[in-house]
Structures are given as structure tokens and as C-alpha cells.
Structure 1
Amino acid sequence: MTVACLACAIAMFLTGRPRADAVALIMIVALPVSGVVTVNEALAGFSDANIVLIAALFVLGDGLVRTGVAQRVGDALIARGGSNERRLVTLIMAIVGMMGSVMSSTAVVAIFIPIVFRIARQSGVSRARLLMPASMAALTSGMLTLVATTPNLVINSALVYRGHAGFGFFAITPVGVPVLAVCMAWMLFAKRFLIGADSGETSNRPSVNDWVARYSLEGRAFRLKVEAGSPLVGQTLGRCGLDDDPVAHVVAIERRARMGTTVLPATADSSIAPGDVLLLDVDAAGFDLPAFCERYTLGVRRMSGAYFTDQTHDVGMAEVIVPPDSALVGDVARRSAALRRHGVTVVGLRRADAALAHDLQTTRLEVGDTLLVVGPWIDIFSMQSVEHDIVCLAMPVESDAYVPAPDKAVQAIGCMALVVALMLAPRVPNVIAGLTGCLLMGALGCVSLDSAYRAIHWRSLVLIVGMLPFSIALQRTGGIDIAADAVLRVAAPWGAHGLLAAVFVLTLVVGMVISATATAVLMAPVVIAMAAHLHASPYPFAMTTAVAASAAYMSPVSSPVNALVSTAGGYRFKEFFLVGMPAALGALIITVVLVPLFWPAYAR
């Protein structure tokens, strides 16, 4: 009965129907019904300390994203790469690996996809040659620390459950660092095999660049620095007339902050300080920029992208439509009080599928008009949630990179450093360290309660909890012993290194067709039982399984990381296999060589 349930679960994982977390819930019901485990045993995973720790890590990773730490670190290192493809690949893999060691690898890749797209546009390097290295580094980052990926925590939990001491925070690092180095060296050569489909998009959602072309915004944007002697210093936009200028309209204000810049909304009450940078939209042909700068003592700042596309981390766009019952009907597009109080500016209007590029100061709104509004992301989202006179049609893909708490980056870094320090402390449980970090991030404003709950990937937690009872069921019915004996019969004559190689290959094969987390849940009890049969320590076998679970390089469906870049880069299965097979072979060799060295007393 237990083997039949397991076979059904694997079959459903392979077909993808129903989805993985639903399969786990089915097993939570099926196993108690079969009489193999009790109801309490089937639900015990919900109280497991490692499940709580995994949830806490999702929140900590979200804190790094919300405060902009992830983006700032990535942008700072990537800026050093210039247009040198080899340097770009090396830097991208290094920073993705470093970030992935302390936060979700899926989140890291999601952050880096738009960054890679922007680098590809600016450097002329094919994005297909940059995305796959990012994916490989993200997967390998799971081999750098205990908390880097869920399978590590699953295997650690299995060890603790059977009475063994768990792994240390950096226990896997001596194996993971060489694997990452080999993968980086391999990708410098293998990137030539990556063709992808650069014409493909990450989704059907529009981008800011799409709207720049659609609404004819080229040549309308300027960044002007307010010099110390400017007559604008100490004034508000309303008092100096720049909030209602018929030609030039300030859409946002950049101001220096402790880390980088912050973007303020451009309302009539917005004050101007020396050193501010005005983001200016010009609604007229033949605008005399030198005369405007001379009048207000402004300096022109460089813009490398079209219409504030370089500022999309801070400045947002949204496409909205005027519904039939809207109070905006009859209002002048640029002078709408409803929109101006939200700190957003109308910069584009389409009517009857034609763009009205200019005269927004005189054009009156009609039912069905489609407007493009610009402003700080926080005001875009606020307008979308509370304004009833417009209906939001679309948000650009760049909205996913919005950083809601950029001034809390230092606090987020401090919280993450404290968590790592507590995890290294001998008497502090990892789950207490993780929860302490979450509470501090909440208290310091890095995350909110709502964002914390949204950050937790509940589907992953349910999947782990639902599959954990199989460990009990297989152990109680002898299934684990059967699987362990089968592996031992085949690989025992090969010696310790051969056994480790067999464990690695078996984990890798299983991980090609089901998720890494499910693979770890299934393989952990098997390898621990193998060690018991050999009267050896379980640590080398558990470590090998952890490394192999993260080495899911060969299939676009083996992990969410691969699925993300497969869509974004337009890769085929053949490209994943050709590039991933040598990387997985390198990880196998490194693991078989190094694991017995670091656990010499156990590799018997």
C-alpha cells in the first residue's frame, strides 16, 4: 500500500496533474487511511522546526528584496562588467551565487532576469548567453550554506529526526565552492552553445520600452539637477509653477539618501532642495532646453535610456482607461485633480487606437481614453488600489522590481548578518535564529506582516509536509530497507567512492523528473538507511544527496529556476542537457573526491 501511494505520487509529479502541493495533500489523507501512519504522524510536519525555518527564510529573503539590497549589490557588481562578455558572465555567476546562499534562488533569478535584459541591451551581448549562467549559479548556490535551499534543510531535518546531529551552517560550503568555481569556468566556454530565442519575452506583459514606442515618448524626458544657486531652492513645485507648466512638467524628484537615491512624488506641495534632480516630461515640440536650464540654474544630467527607463527601479508607469461613469470625463488630461493628488502625471493618451503625443494640457478626457501615467511606484500602486474613476489595464514587467523600502537596506543587511551569526552560535537553534531575524526585520520596517505572509511560498511548505510521512511509512513497512539494499547490492563492490557516486547519480536521475525538494524528501531516508546497513556514518551520504539535489542542471522542468530562465531565454531542452551534463559530471567528481576528505572517519 505504501509503495503504491508513493508510485502514484511520483506519477502525478511527472505528469504535473494535479500540481505538486495538491499531490502532497492527497498523500496526507491517503497514508492515514491506509493505516500505515496515524493522523498525528501525517500532520506532524506542520510543527517541524525546519518547516518553520524555511518559512522564516522566505521572509528574510523578501526583506533583502524589499529594501533593494539584492538589486543594489547586483547592479553595483554588474556595472563593473561593461561590455566584456567573459567578465559579465563571471560577475553575474559570482553575485547570483553569493546572494543565493542566503536567500531563495528562485527569487534571485527573478530579480536578475530584468537586470540581465538591461545588460544585454546596453552591452550588445545576447541575453541567452547570460541567463543560463545565472541559472546555473543560482542552483549551485544551494551548495554554499545550510539555509541556501530547501532540500538542504529537508535532509538536515531527516538526520535530526533519526537522532543524529544536524549539519553546521557552512558544512556544505567546502564542496559547494569548488563546484561553483568549476561551473563558472565551464560556462565561460559553454556559453557559445547557447542560442535561445532573444525575440521571446518573459511574459505577455508589456515593458516600459513598449510603452515608450506605443505612446511616442522618445525625446520627451530630461534629468535636470538643481544647482545650489537655483531660484527653485526652497520653493515648492506649485509656487514656482512647474506642477502646471503648459510645456515642461516635473513627474518626480530624485533626492540623495543614505544609500543611493530616493524618488519623491511631484505634487504642488513638493519642496525643492539643492542637489535634487528633476525628472522632466516635455509636452511640446521645439522645447528650448538651454533657455529653460539658464532660467532656473539647472544642470543637464546624462540619460542612457529612453524616457526614464534607467530609473524603472524607482519611477513607475501604468496604463489606465477612463470608464463610462468616471468623474474624469471632461477633465483636461494633464490637469486632472484626481490624478495629481496621487502624485502621478499623464504623459500619454491614446484615443481610437491613435496616440496623442502632445497637447495634453488642453485635451479633455473622453470615455474609453487610454492614459499612460508616470510617477513613483508607491504612488502608482496607491492610485491603483484606491482610485475609482480609472481602471488599471496593465502594469509593466518592471513593476516586479519595485523596492518599497529602499531606506531600510542597512537594517536588512544587519538583520541577515545577525541571523548568520546566531546560526553559527553553538547553542542557538537555527529556527530561533531565523525567527529572530524576521521579528527584527518587521520591527525595523524592512518587511510588513502582510508582505511577510505573501513572501512565504506556502505551496513548497505543503509539498514538504505532505511528503514527510512517507519517511515514516516506508521505514515502518520496510520500504526504505528494500531501496537501500538494492543500491548496496549494485554499488557495494565499488567501495566508498562508488557508493557515493551511486547515491549522487540516483538523486540526479530522480531530480530530473520531480522537484529538488521532493527528491530530497524521498532520498534522505534511503541514504540514511544505507549508512545504517553499512554501520557507517550517514553524513557523507546525506551530504552527497544534498549536493546532487542542487545539481539539477540538465532539465528545464527540474526546478523553478530552470523554468524561469527557460521561458525568458527561449532555451530548448537540448541546450539544458548539453550545458548541464558536463556541469553535473563535474559536481559528481568533486563530491566523490571531497566528501571522504572532509569526513574521513565516515567514508568506510
Structure 2
Amino acid sequence: MNAELALVLGLLATCVALFIRNRPRMDVVALMAMVALPLAGVLSVPEALAGFSDPSVILIGALFVIGHSLVRTGIAYRLGDWLARTAGTSEIRLLVLLMLAVAGLGSVMSSTGVVAIFIPVVLGVARRMRLPPGRLMMPLAFAGLISGMLTLVATPPNMVVSSELRRAGLEGFGFFDFTPIGLAVLVAGLVYMLLVRRWLARPEDQDGTEDSRQTLADLADRYRLAERARRLRVRQGSPLANAVLNELQLRAEYGINVIAVERPGRFQNRLLIATGNTELRAGDILLADIASPAIGLLGAFDELGLEAVALKNAYYDVHARELGLVEVTLPPDSHLPGKTIQELGFRSRHGLNVVGLRRNRQALAGLLVDERLKPGDTLLVAGEWKAIHRLQGLSRDFLVLSLPAEVDHVAPAAQKAPQALFCLAVMVALMVSGLVPNVLAALIACLLLGLFRCIDMDSAYRSIHWQSLLLIVGMLPFALALQKTGGIDLAVSGLVTLLGDAGPRAILACLFLLTAMIGLFISNTATAVLLAPVAISTAEQLGASPYPFAMTVALAASAAFMTPISSPVNTLVLGPGGYRFGDFVRIGVPFTLMVMIVSVALVPLLFPF
């Protein structure tokens, strides 16, 4: 071992120790390493900074944007809603559908983002089915990790390994090259979780899993909205048809406050938040608050040409993505006390409707349009989430209290879902066909998403996980440094000397275990950066194809099942699932060995030596 190699190994060991300690942050450690290597004379400055121009880094950044577009357009949340409806009361059906949905969505977007989206969905379904969340949270995390084995773009390690193949003058992996093995692992994961789910929960798992924030249902109960909520269809020939709300004076003359309008569309109803200029049409369904349940009995509905429509759930729950509720209180220096709710003009000024009033902790009955406000009153207003966010900036006369939990699930570009799916399909088609390089396919999809307004520049920049990109950029020079100083040759010769007589499958198993074990302590992306050159060089020394060795490293990098800190996905479900460190060890270690067996058995069949 020469002095330069000893220096590089020392720097690498220091980085690993800091990664384990998690202080300073991993991206800072990577930048420190990037600076240290040229200062030590191991690499030149251009070589140390070459990661910034690596196509895989640009591709990963673009995929963060594309994944976020699926959230902004509501596609990810609609999938969660479908899961809750389809599962019904069957735990087995729920578990199978959950893992399939998470793995499928995670194959084209960040698995961490997918799991974060599904955690509240799963908690809600678990509460409804009276299941301990622990029986579902670990399957959720494992499905997120398995999604990284399904496509080339599912996780950064896949793209890092593919990029390393191209750097060696070889062809990289195709979009679906991972899919057959990933599907086999997914089937194994489904069977495994169905068998071990009874050991995933303990009686105390329910503790602490409730969201401490209030929900729309909490607000509706507090202001007794259920007593007044109605869905009313505008009949053919109704005097309301083709009339504007401001002209009708429904609130003042009939005690009917129209909050929103469901307008029939070709595929589904479209929700319109009511304003004074909203024009009603025959067939519209009005989502309204009424002053008293007696209004319908008094003949007002017949006079107006309205008919009541069944309301299975509160429409604030049904339309939670578009229609929000929030409490507004009057600060001491407000100029509003003494004015009536009618005089506030919330609908005309802010695009919001006042649907409730609390005074001295008691909800007042009726629509209260003529009620004069007093200091300390709290109003409940309803409208678009966008309008509610605007209201937060107007703090002189009223103060917006904490937003309900559903605000986390708002899709600001929900109407652009078809366009987002089209952009995703274009990217996949370009990648599969090979017409353009993968990085250009992803950038084309990003530009189309911006053109269709599925995402804007601000949200695009916010969606990129810069820490991950800097980690990759900072660790890439280590692979070059180890290659220049002979470190990779040393590791390869040791591996071949130790296991060369045992056959290439034994070396695949050793590579898998080595990658999985290193991934316990440092990022799986950094692990792939370090071990991909080792895998390719090992294949060259054996005179074998590099593809099965590179594929094994990529698969093992996603097999972070063994501890709750080996992947952000596991860390996310640790609290909601009520798990302990040992729960991941006793469930994750056997499954990791199972994944290794599946990989070592299938990889050589698809990528012969």
C-alpha cells in the first residue's frame, strides 16, 4: 500500500465516521472531501469538481422535479384515496394493494416522498379498520425500498451504477433492465410481510400515532356544520339557472349560503368555489350551509327549483384537496368588532365564506349574517386553500390560527393531472426507445411540465433534494482517487483471491453482502459510488461480463431493510409504526438474505457471465 492510497483510505474512513455520527451534515462532509482531495495532491481541481457535470447528477435532479409534479397535480394523493376505497375492511387486501401502489409509484419518483405521502393515508385506514399501525408501516417502508429495484430511474444508486458502466466505455442499463428482478423481490416481499405481519405490532403501538393537529372534521364538529350542510341540485327550469349568486341574495332572503358548486363534467364533477360572480347552471350541485333545517320543510327548496341530494360524508372531507376550512380570530387592535359578518365582505374581498362563529367557546347557531362581531370572536371561513394562504399575510384585522392537517395534502395543480401523466409517459417512452439519452428525456419532461403549468420554477427548485446531489458530487471523486492510487485494484485482487475458486455466484453474494453492510452506515448512493468500480474491475479480472456484478451492487444498495437508520424511508415509519431498533433487525435481516438469494439466482440468468 503506497502513501497516497493510505491517505485516500484515511480520508474515506473519516468521511464514513462522520456519516455515522451525522455531524456535520452528510453534504458538508462530501464537500469537505471534495476540497481535501485536491489539497492533498491526489486529484486535480477539475477531477475533484467533475461530479457537477456528471449526467447522472443532472438526471437525479430532474427526477426530483418530475416526482414533485405528481404530488402537485394530486396524482399521488388520488392513488392513496383509491387504496383506502378499494381495500375495504380486508387487512390482506390492504397490505397487498399498499405495497403494490407504493412500489409502482416509487418506481418513477422518490421513494422517500412516496412513503411520506402514504403515512397519513395508512394511519387513517388503520384507525378506520382498528388495526395497529405497526402492522402496515414496515410493509410500507419495505415497498418503498423495493421500488428502487424496479426501474433505472427509481433510485440514485441505479443511475450511479449505470453511469459508472458508461464511464468504463460500456453501455449503461436500460429503463426496464431492473424490472424482472424487482418484481420477483416484490412478490417475495408481499409473501414475507403476509407471514410476519402478526409480529410487527404490539398493544402499545397505537400510542402517539394520532396527528396532534386539528382536522377539517374537528373544525366541522366544533362549529356544528354537519347540522347545516346540504347538497342541493339545481333542477331544469329553476329560477336559479343562468343567474349570478350576487343577484340572487340566497343568504339574505332564504338563509342559504352557497360555499361551492359541483359542476358535472365529461369524466368527473368539477368543483367551483363560490364567489359573488359565480353563475349557476341547471344540473349544478350546490354545496351549501343553511340557516335552519326547517328551510327545506318551508318550501324554499321547491320555490327555488332545488332538490336535496344524498350527503354520505361531509363535503369538507370529500373535497378536502380543493376546499379548506380555517379559524380566524380578531386581534386586540382589529377594526372589525362592531361590524356585521355581512359588512365584512369576506366573499368579495378575500374569496372566502364565513361559515361559523364562536363566542366564549360556544358555536352560535345559524348563518349569523347580521351578527355584530365582538373582540375575541373566532370565525370559521371556507374557500380555496390558495385564498386561505393569502389571508395569512393580512394580520392587521384578523389572525389566521393553525391550519388543519389536510393542508399537507393539497394539490395546487390538481386540474393538470392529465398533462403530468402525459409528460411522465413521454419521459418513459424516450428512455425505453433510446432516441435520446436518459438525462435529455428527463429534462424534456421537466420543460413540458413547466409548459403545461404542472409545476413552476419556485416549486421546482424547492423540490430538488440538494443534500443528496451534493453527496453524490462529493463522493464521486473518491472512486477516481481509489482508482488512481490502486485502491480498487487492491480490493479486486483480494476479492478474487479469496473467492475466485468458489465461482462467480459466490463473488456476487459477497458483493451483495458487502454493499448491504456498508449501506448500514453510509448513504446507499455513496455506497454505490464506491463499490460500482470494484464490481466492474472484478468482472474484468475474472474475464466475465461486468453487468451481473454491477446489477448486484445496484440491487444491494436498495436492500436497506436491516436497521431504521439505514434509509430515510425506514426512519420515516419508525415513530408512526411504534417500532424499536430491534424490530427492523429481526424482520429486516432475514428479508435481506432472502433478497440476496433471489438476486444471486436471477441476475446471472438475465445478465449471463
**TM-score, scaled to structure 2:** 0.91
The Cα offsets for residues 463-489 of structure 1, whole Å up to 9 and x where unpaired, read as 111111111122222223333344444
The question of 1:88 aligning with 2:81 is answered: no
2:433 to 421, 425, 436: 425
Q: How does 1:202-351 map to 2 (within 5 A)?
A: 204-244=212-252, 247-257=255-265, 259-282=267-290, 291=299, 293-306=301-314, 308-333=316-341, 335-338=343-346, 340-350=348-358
Q: Evaluate the alpha carbon distance shift between residue 223 and residue 13 of structure 1 in structure 2; reply closer, same or farther with a 3 A threshold.
A: farther
Relative to structure 1, the CA distance from residue 599 to residue 211 in structure 2 (aligned partners, 3 Å threshold; closer, same or farther) is same
- In the alignment, which of 129, 139, 147 is matched to residue 133 of structure 1? 139
Task: Give SS of 1:143's match.
Answer: coil
- Following TM superposition, by how much is the alpha carbon of 1:278 offset from its aligned partner in structure 2, in angstroms? 2.1
Please give the alpha-carbon distance, in whole angstroms, between the structure 2 residues aligned to 1:473 and 1:275.
70
Alignment counterpart, residue 388 of structure 2, candidates 367, 376, 380: 380
Pair 1:401-2:409 in alignment: yes
1:31 aligns with 2:37: yes
Which of 453, 459, 463 aligns to 1:455? It is 463
Moved beyond 6 Å, runs of 4+: none
Give 1:568's aligned residue.
576
Please identify, of 164-173 and 104-113, the stretch whose mean Cα deviation from structure 2 is larger.
Answer: 104-113
Q: Paired residue for 1:59?
A: 65
Matches within 5 A, 1:150-229: 150-195=156-201, 197-201=205-209, 204-229=212-237
1:98–1:537 CA distance, 2 compared to 1 (3 A): same
Q: CA deviation at 1:246?
A: 7.8
Q: Judge conservation of contact 1:303–1:310 (CA < 8 Å) in 2.
A: no
Give distance in 2, aligned partners of 1:185 and 1:149. Answer: 24
Give CA-to-partner distance per residue, 1:216-250, whole Å, 9 cap, x none: 54534333333334332222222222355684422
One-letter amino acid of the structure 1 residue matched with residue 264 of structure 2: R
1:560 CA displacement? 2.1
Structure 1 residue identity aligned to 2:21: T
Work out whether residues 157 and 529 of structure 2, in 8 Å CA contact, stay in contact via their aligned partners in 1: yes
Partners of 1:237 and 1:243 within 8 A in 2? no
Range 284-293 or range 167-176, more displaced: 284-293
Aligned residues: 601
* 1:305-357 deviation digits (Å, cap 9, x = unpaired): 45622321221123444334444343334652246532222334455655556
Higher mean C-alpha displacement, 103-112 vs 298-307? 298-307
Q: Secondary structure at the match of 2:382?
A: strand
The answer to whether the 8 A contact 1:212-1:307 is kept is no
Shift of 1:166: 0.7
Q: Distance in 2 between matches of 1:202 and 1:419?
A: 39
- Relative to structure 2, which stretch is displaced further, 113-122 or 539-548? 113-122
Query: Which residue of 563, 566, 589 corresponds with 1:558?
Result: 566
State the 1:435 CA deviation. 0.7
For 1:282 and 1:189, how far apart are their aligned partners in 2? Answer: 52
1:77–1:91 Cα contact (<8 Å) kept: yes
Please say if residues 291 and 366 of structure 2, whose CA atoms lie closer than 8 Å, have aligned partners that are also in contact. Answer: yes
**Cα distance, 1:97 vs structure 2:** 1.4
CA distance in 2, matches of 1:141, 1:510: 20
Using the alignment, how far apart are the partners of 1:131 and 1:305 within structure 2?
Answer: 27
Paired with 2:487 and 2:372, the residues of 1 have a C-alpha distance of 74
* Aligned CA distance change for structure 1 residues 257 and 239 (closer, same or farther; 3 Å): same
Shift of 1:545: 1.3
Q: CA deviation at 1:434?
A: 0.6
Q: Which moved more, 1:438-447 or 1:77-86?
A: 77-86
The answer to whether the 8 Å contact 2:232/2:309 transfers is yes
Secondary structure in structure 2 of the residue aligned to 1:144: coil
- SS of equivalent to 1:279: strand
Q: CA offset at residue 493 of structure 1?
A: 4.0
Q: Once the 2 structures are TM-superposed, how far is the Cα of residue 595 of structure 1 from its aligned partner?
A: 0.5
Contact 1:544/1:591, CA 8 A, preserved across alignment: yes
How far apart, CA to CA, are the structure 1 residues paired with 2:465 and 2:424? Answer: 19
Report if the CA contact (8 A) 2:72-2:411 is conserved: yes
Match of 1:40 among 46, 49, 69: 46
2:214 maps to amino acid: P
Structure 2 letter corresponding to 1:276:
D
Q: What corresponds to 1:103 in structure 2?
A: 109
User: Are residues 170 and 14 of structure 1, via their aligned partners in 2, closer, same or farther at CA, if it must alter by over 3 Å?
Assistant: same
CA distance in 2, matches of 1:290, 1:9: 76
Judge conservation of contact 1:512–1:552 (CA < 8 Å) in 2. yes
> Which deviates more, 519-528 or 536-545?
519-528
Distance 1:50 1:265, change over 3 A: same
SS of 1:374's partner is strand
Return the offset for 1:157.
1.6
Name the % identity: 48
The whole-number CA distance in structure 2 between the counterparts of 1:136 and 1:536 is 32
Q: What are the ranges of 5 or more consecutive residues in structure 2 without an aligned counterpart?
A: 1-6
Task: Choose which of 475, 478, 483 in structure 1 pairs with 2:483.
Answer: 475
Q: Does 1:7 align with 2:13?
A: yes
Offset at residue 366 of structure 1 (A): 4.5
Pick closer, same or farther for the CA change 1:497–1:293 going to 2, 3 Å. Answer: farther
Shift of 1:359: 6.3
User: Residue type matched to 1:541 in 2?
Assistant: F
CA–CA separation in structure 2 for the residues paired with 1:47 and 1:163: 17
Report the equivalent of 1:539.
547
Q: Distance in 2 between matches of 1:133 and 1:91?
A: 11
- d(CA) in 2 for partners of 1:301, 1:502: 65
Please state how far the C-alpha of 1:405 moved relative to its aligned partner. 1.9
Mapped contact 2:273–2:323 kept (Cα < 8 A): no
How much has 1:295 moved relative to structure 2? 4.2
SS for the counterpart of 1:171 is: coil
Change (3 A) 1:17 1:274: farther
Give the deviation of 1:62 after TM superposition.
1.9
Of the candidates 442, 456, 472, which is equivalent to residue 434 of structure 1? 442
Matched, 1:498 2:501: no
> Structure 1: how far apart are the matches of 2:339 and 2:355?
15
> Is the 8 Å Cα contact of residues 259 and 407 (structure 1) preserved in structure 2?
no
d(CA) in 2 for partners of 1:335 and 1:163? 73
State the Cα distance separating 1:283 from its structure 2 match. 5.2
Mapped pair 1:517 → 2:517 = no
Q: For 1:370 and 1:28, how far apart are their aligned partners in 2?
A: 55
